[in-house]
Amino acid sequence: MLSDKQSLILCGIMGIGIFVSGVLEILDNFITKTILTLLFLVILTNLIITISRKKEKE
């Protein structure tokens, strides 16, 4: 699904997003929570797909 570089960029964006929204105190905002949750789900889905593809090759 995503390359390693893209996965690292998404993880970095999520980390920076959590940090910045925490500093600006907008972490309780619904839109911020939605964006961060969707980003987390994309990363998690990519992890599951990558692991299942590696198991199929073995």
Per the prediction, the chain carries an average pLDDT of: 92
Give residue 34's pLDDT: 96
- pLDDT at residue 37 greater than cutoff 80: yes
Sketch the domain layout of the chain as residue ranges.
4-57
Residues 39 and 11: their CA atoms lie apart, in Å, by 8
pLDDT in tens, 4-22: 899 999 999 999 999 999 9
- pLDDT at residue 57 greater than cutoff 90: no
Q: In sequence order, which residues have a C-beta less than 8 Å from that of residue 7 and are 6 or more positions away?
A: 43, 46, 47
From residue 2, alpha-carbon distances to 8, 13, 19, 31, 47 in Å are 10, 15, 24, 25, 9
Residues 8 and 34: their CA atoms lie apart, in Å, by 20
Nearest alpha carbon to residue 32 among 58, 14, 55, 49: 14
